[in-house]
Structure 1
Amino acid sequence: MHPNHHPDPSPHHPTRWTDHRLATAYATRIDLLDRDTAWPALTPLLTPATPRRLLGRPDAVILELGAGIAAYAHHLAEHHWTRTHAVDISPTLHRIGEQRHNDAWILRTTPDRAGRLPLRPHQCTAALAHLTLCHQPTDAHTLALLTETRRALRPHAVFAIIEPGEIGRDFQLLRYGHPHAAAEPRPGEPYPIDYTLADGTRLRTTAHHRSPDHNARLLAQAGFTLHEIRPLPLPGYGGTPFTLWTAHATP
């Protein structure tokens, strides 16, 4: 283990995102890779090409899975006139998010014990999951999340998914897998994702590897049609920190 790693779970056990200490540390994660690489690719998919900006009415109603402190939801509300249902299982991240990004168009919520979301059918115009599906420990967890997402989306709505990019490469602010890993993890195998925090240390979390074909089958089973999978390279640096999946809610 890197000497600057925070105390963390074994890479063979799911990350306890509801743990107060872990969530407090994660809230300080440096998100420049997200802002420079993922956000510019996500925004055109989630927001209308022609803004309406009607008084008191959002241009889009977005469901964000694993929203954390809702930094991206705050960006969308400020710059793109959107309302976001920011879903996260961590009460700590919701509390920190309310302190940092207090906005009437960010509606923070948690699933109930059965995994259901407090949303009406077809309530949202788009959805996103940023490094969220990869942290689901089982197919059952993943499918339940996807099925609830489909229920909340209008027919043909976009579901944009950010998944890990190159495994084994250190992007300084983010690293998937063990350094200089010789190969991708086997299907279903857990592997670490290290997030760099504001104090320069790294927080180790657990992800679970699924092949593109496997994820595509889960999406189809939940009622989505996969449109595209494309790498998101890091501008001016090289390498691919993220992969963008674009799916649509099947009518």
Structure 2
Amino acid sequence: MRHTVAIASAKGGVGKSTVSINLAVSLAAQGARVGLLDADIYGPSIPLMMGIRQQPATGQEGTMRPVYKAGVALMSIGFIAGEDAPVVWRGPLLARALQQFLHQVEWGPLDYLLIDLPPGTGDVPLTLSQAVALSGALIVTTPQSVALEDVERGIAMFSKVEVDILGIVENMSYYLCSQCDQRHEIFGCGGGAEAAERLGLPFLGALPLSAAIRQRGDEGRAAPDPLFAAIGEGLVAELRRLEASE
């Protein structure tokens, strides 16, 4: 695989998995070969949000084959744990599981492998940085002050393990009222862009609170979206810039 990108958030509830899914689907719609690994051990929601019910098939020599949906190769911890079973993995067991998902899945040739991490700065990001050479991390936040404060902690964690930050995405940035066509900034205004500028990082875009995006996730109907396509273009540009500078 050419580029492996961690999708991270230092705080839960910011819509990281929604961003991961829609970004993967939009990149695939543009012709890229995309894999999506759901490594969120606290809430592996991607099978549900992608409308996947089947288990991955077993390949040669005990490997696993990803499930394909909307042009994306998918693998999730939820496939192993079961839909309603809690995942309580730490330390060596977690490290082995991540190694298996990265190296014993028949991903095939990929342009991008996106890895949906659990929120926070715990074992998974640290284990992942040791298990695979990450091209970088994309940070998802909201305009809320508490979320933005956690962003700096997340960025500091990736800095300690020498992983580049590819940019910041602000989710739930605003709500566009269907009745009055007015833009309402419910959780604050411009915090993600201000944080990116202060930290010297690319700001890849602001995403609205959208009933359509929420409904597609609830019903497992992922589809390309121009808002996520624009973020994907910014992500690809940053990956190319870093690649050229090496």
Same fold (TM over 0.5): no
More helix by share: 2
Give the number of the structure with larger relative contact order, counting CA–CA contacts within 8 Å between residues 6 or more apart: 2
Q: Which category describes the TM-score, using the shorter chain as reference length?
A: 0.3 to 0.5
More strand by share: 1
How high is the TM-score relative to the length of structure 2?
A: 0.38
